[in-house]
């Protein structure tokens, strides 16, 4: 093994996945039929499902690779959501761990339509076995945020980096439970309040009102709100006005505790970037996002790690580089 290819959120974009794998030198092998590279291993950061048109094919490709040993997979928040959506809530008869509200139904509709019957049961069972993070010594992989204290809680509560019993999913779906709080950080990322600092709420990319912003935990130098609050340039206030500049006010130490300061490269997805990667936004010396909105922009992205001790932006690679160009 001469390196890892860390692949971002696929969200049902099977064409882009196969284009990227082939472009990186992965081929279907006998007798398993799984994609395999002669000397490298793929790592998927989660969010294989929801949104896109080819979710069953994505799941079949990725699971075949994992079963054959040519890939590793971490759990994304969409895999956890799928488990909770399908799991009855023992404390509320007739309800599920993830409520079947109109909003949740809409977010999960494509998976429910495309992955049915025995296939759905089989892949939900597989989701339950996925680790929440991977620490491979020289590199680290997590879906949304690498945070040692949250990982320590998970290890204390479940005995390692993955769930081992059904009741743990109940706890991970119950607000106020320490396991819920820890898993939210790891799979959805920490957030910072806005209103308490005099900032208005905003409408996110899906038009939902938010009064908390994602926290830029990858910014190792951050100590003020403008450095920590992740608010996209297209976001607006509730009345549709452009979102104002975020104030440069100090943020308390407890919220800054999420900021990553270790000197081990960590790779993550979740944040819906746009190709191509930008310094400080998508990558820093020791952090690299690999989620570049495969469904919405057609850019499924991998980082090809070959032993370097710091992130090298030239090691990013996109499915767009191998796609046929329009005439």
Three-class SS of 165-211: CHHHHHHHCCCCCHHHHHHHHHHHCCEEECHHHCCCCEECCCCCEEC
What is the pLDDT averaged over residues 211-215?
A: 93
User: What is the SS3 assignment for 120?
Assistant: helix
The predicted model scores a pTM of 0.95
Residue pair 133/80 in contact (Cβ under 8 Å)? The answer is no
- Local confidence band at 180 (pLDDT 50, 70, 90 cut-offs): very high
pLDDT, one tens digit per residue, over 217-266 is 999 989 999 999 988 777 899 998 999 989 999 999 988 999 999 999 99
215-235 residues labelled b (16+ CB within 10 A) or e (exposed): bbbbbeebeebbbbbbbeeee
- Percentage above 70 pLDDT, the chain: 98
Least reliable range by pLDDT among 108-112, 272-276, 304-308: 272-276
- Local confidence band at 327 (pLDDT 50, 70, 90 cut-offs): very low
User: What is the SS3 assignment for 13?
Assistant: coil
Q: What average pLDDT does the chain have? A: 94
User: What is the SS3 assignment for 266?
Assistant: strand
pLDDT, one tens digit per residue, over 115-150 is 999 999 999 999 999 999 999 999 999 999 999 999
Q: Which residue has the higher pLDDT, 206 or 181?
A: 181
| Local structure of residue 22 (DSSP, 8 states) | H
Which span out of 87-96, 202-211, 230-239 was modeled with the highest average pLDDT? 87-96
Closest CA to 225 of 244, 203, 238: 244
Closest CA to 288 of 271, 265, 272, 306: 265
Residue pair 203/236 in contact (Cβ under 8 Å)? The answer is yes
């Amino acid at each position: 093994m001469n390196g890892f290819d860390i692949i971002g959120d696929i969200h049902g974009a099977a064409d882009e996945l196969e284009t990227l794998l082939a472009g990186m030198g992965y081929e279907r092998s006998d007798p398993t039929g799984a994609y395999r590279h002669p000397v490298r291993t793929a790592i998927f950061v989660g969010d294989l499902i929801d949104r896109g048109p080819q979710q069953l094919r994505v799941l079949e490709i990725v699971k075949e690779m994992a079963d054959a040993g040519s890939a590793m997979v971490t759990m994304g928040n969409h895999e956890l959501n799928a488990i909770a959506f399908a799991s009855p809530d023992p404390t509320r008869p007739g309800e599920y761990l993830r409520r079947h509200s109109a909003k949740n139904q809409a977010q999960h509709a494509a998976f429910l339509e495309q992955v049915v019957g025995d296939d759905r049961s089989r892949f939900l069972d597989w989701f339950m076995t996925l680790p929440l993070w991977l620490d491979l010594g020289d590199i680290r992989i997590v879906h949304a945020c690498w945070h040692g204290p949250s990982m320590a809680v998970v290890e204390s509560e479940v005995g390692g980096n993955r769930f081992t019993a059904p009741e743990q999913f109940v706890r991970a779906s119950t607000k106020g439970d320490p396991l819920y709080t820890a898993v939210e950080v790891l799979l959805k990322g920490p957030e910072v309040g806005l209103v308490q600092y005099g900032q208005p709420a905003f409408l996110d990319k899906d038009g939902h009102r938010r009064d908390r912003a994602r926290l830029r935990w990858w910014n190792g130098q951050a100590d003020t709100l403008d450095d920590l609050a992740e608010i996209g340039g297209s976001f607006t206030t509730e009345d549709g006005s452009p979102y104002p500049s975020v104030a440069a006010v100090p943020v308390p130490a407890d919220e800054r505790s999420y900021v990553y300061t270790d000197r081990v490269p960590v790779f993550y997805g979740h944040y819906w970037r746009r190709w191509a990667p930008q310094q400080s936004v998508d990558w820093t010396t020791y952090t690299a996002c690999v989620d570049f909105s495969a469904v919405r922009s057609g850019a499924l992205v991998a980082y090809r790690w070959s032993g370097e001790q710091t992130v090298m932006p030239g090691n990013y690679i996109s499915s767009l580089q191998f796609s046929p160009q329009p005439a």
